[in-house]
Chain A
Amino acid sequence: MRYRVLAAILAVISGFLAVEAFRRTSLYGVLTLIMPSWIIYAVPALPVLGFLSERKVFGSGYYASLMILALIPSIQESEVFEGILDALYSLGYESISRMVLEMFPYQDSFSTAALITMLYILGIYSENLDEYEKELRSHGYSFSLLPTLVFLVIVISAIYPNLNRIDVAGMLRANFPHAVVALIAFSLSLITLWRMR
């Protein structure tokens, strides 16, 4: 139960982070013209409802919607978005194309998306640790699984500041996928040799 509370707290924090990132976009201003501004805060309230109704607190659907909200400020990075704008422009709707571009001014929200992902991973663990500990107790073991959470926090805090340094585009250009496939094939052959010894 204690871990589930932690998962709910992490989900609410993630919700707030995504909403705050989304509020920086002009799309939020447009939406407030149609509906009341407070309605966006229903997003972080969803995990609380899940917690009270004994359902999943931090589900993958909720995570995907938070990621979309968090990625909207940096949507200009998306090739699809650029393609839509170009299509509108070449079809003769220049004004609409410009208006859409102004609605999504570029703001780097990658760190928010990364933070939400980290919190989601912590959330997955927090939600499952309760169940695992219950299973352990039923089998007659009495140790705690808290070290997993502590170690996970250490790993995540080591990875998070260095995420921006990893240049995925550069890796893709430098045949990184081929290297990964080669590495997997090499590891598999080593495992096969080890088993056959």
Chain B
Amino acid sequence: MRHLERGLLTLTVTILVLSISLVMERILVLALIPLILLMFPSGFHVKVRDVHFSPPSHVGDDVKLRCSIAVMGFGYAKIKLVCDDILEVTEGDARTGGLVPVYREFQIDVRGVAKKRGRINFGKIAIEFDDIFLTKKSQKELDIQADADVKVRVKKVRKIRARRRKVRESYPDIDISKLGVPGTDFREIREYIPGDPVKFINWKATARREKILVNEFEVEGKRAVWFVINSSHHVFADEEYFENALTVAASLAYYFTKRGHKTALTLTGSGKTLHPDLGKKQFYRIMSELILAEFDEKKPVVAVREVKKLMMYHMPFVIYITHVHDDLSALKELQRSGIKSKPVVVPGKEYRRDLAKAAYRLMVREKMRRDADILKETIRVRM
């Protein structure tokens, strides 16, 4: 209950108590005044007109929304475009309101940048209406059908030359795959496994060892690239980081798919995994997963442990996309199993306080010591 309502009700009760205790019915009439104020009608009617909406196609694109809202009633209207987590307003105001003396038209004219991907409704308008005596409040939510499919932006990946230093792991442009069509380069002799072609049986070695041995050849094709995105809840993992991480994943997926690599994806939060595959179709599969991605409960180490067996079968190159606050325990888990991996640290919200900035710099330095790529503006692949 609001203070005003409470005040008026207290007044009514006080007058009633005085009137009853003194048995003076004449002062009862004074109790009518607060009751009139409390019972004042607070109904209102809303109509939306002239909606102009230019939808974005990618995260970071411009969004323009203009509409007029006609309100009928007697009181105060508070109109708000519900867009806090989907739109960063750069021009105009997402809120408007004021006194409605029977009829008034309000205008919302907003220009901003799309912050979130997926099927987004930019046209949710919340209207709060207070009667003129501020004793009653009514709310309405309008939907002006301003829906848009916002996709993850695929940025151009820039190749750069690394500084002359000892690199523990480069990106897998020349690495070869574990699975694929066997070539002519001999790799090793190993024991026969049911399903191996008969033509690969090394008869001489079989006769010598008295058990069936086969020749194994290097397989053709490029190594699979596995994107592991840290989508687990973390106190400092904000939406900005997540959008950046998804953009990086989408851009790198495009880059490696175009170059004939098999690509795969794991989202640590939900534990969802897309198995490695080649081609455009796989890229679109990855894109549709990225569009729906959200933060979730599962920890990165747990998610990586679950998918490790599959990874060991393909022996891919893992690109672990994470934030600067991650302790990289998931990466350690991968490295323990001999899977080649590379951490890519994506920035989140910029810190304003000096102390926070200094702490951030320290964490970045620590990640760089662990051979992490720190991304800022552009996505680079160090060769």
Contact = CB atoms under 8 A, between A and B. Distances in A.
Answer yes or no: are A and B bound together in one complex.
yes
A38 interface: no
Interface string B138-163: 00000000000000000000000000
Contact of A80 (B21, B36, B96): B21
- Which of A80, A148, A151 has the most chain B CB within a 10 Å cutoff? A148
Nearest to B23: A79
A71 B4 contact: no
Interface in B85-104: 93, 95-99
A71 B18 contact: yes
Interface in B62-87: 76, 78
Given A117-B33, A128-B3, A168-B25, A145 B76 contact: yes
B78 A124 contact: no
Interface in A105-121: 110, 113-114, 117-118, 120-121
Interface string B22-39: 111111111011101100
Decide if the interface of chain B is mainly helix, strand, loop or mixed. Answer: helix
**How would you classify the secondary structure of chain A's contact residues: helix, strand, loop or mixed?**
helix
Interface string B305-330: 00000000000000000000000000
Interface stretch (B7-15, B244-252, B255-263, B271-279): B7-15
B30 A147 contact: no
Contact of A121 (B3, B27, B37): B37
B22 A71 contact: yes
Nearest to A70: B27
Contact of A124 (B4, B26, B29): B4
Contacts of A169: 25-26
A132 B134 contact: yes
A115 B7 CA distance: 17
Contacts, number: 98
A77 B34 CA distance: 24
A21 B98 CA distance: 42
Contact of A120 (B11, B23, B32): B11
A149 to B, nearest CB: 10
B96 to A, nearest CB: 8
A64 B99 contact: no
B132 interface: yes
Nearest to B95: A140
Given A78-B22, A140-B95, A60 B8 contact: no
A166 B29 contact: yes
A148 B133 contact: yes
B93 A140 contact: yes
B85 to A, nearest CB: 16
Given A79-B23, A152-B133, A168 B28 contact: yes
B34 A121 contact: yes
B7 A64 contact: no
Interface string A92-131: 0000000000000000001001100110110011001001
A129 B133 CA distance: 11
B23 A80 contact: yes
A113 B25 contact: no
Contacts of B33: 117-118, 121, 156, 159
Contact of B14 (A64, A110, A131, A172): A64
B298 to A, nearest CB: 36
A125 B97 contact: no
B25 A128 contact: no
User: Among A68, A75, A145, which residue has the most Cβ atoms of chain B within 10 A?
Assistant: A145
Nearest to B98: A143
B91 to A, nearest CB: 15
A63 interface: yes
A121 B8 contact: yes
A134 B28 CA distance: 35
Contact of B24 (A77, A125, A155): A77
B21 to A, nearest CB: 7
A197 interface: no
B51 to A, nearest CB: 22
A166 B133 CA distance: 23
Contacts of B32: 166
A2 interface: no
Contact of B29 (A71, A78, A168): A168
Which of B3, B11, B29, B96 lies at the interface centre, i.e. has the most chain A CB atoms within 10 A of its CB? B29
B216 to A, nearest CB: 68
A67 interface: yes
6 contacts: A60-B7, A114-B30, A121-B8, A141-B78, A148-B134, A168-B26
Interface of A: 60, 63-64, 67-68, 71, 75, 77-81, 110, 113-114, 117-118, 120-121, 124-125, 128, 131-132, 136, 139-141, 143, 145, 147-148, 151-152, 155-156, 159, 163, 166, 168-169, 172
Interface of B: 2-4, 7-8, 10-11, 14-15, 18, 21-30, 32-34, 36-37, 76, 78, 93, 95-99, 132-134
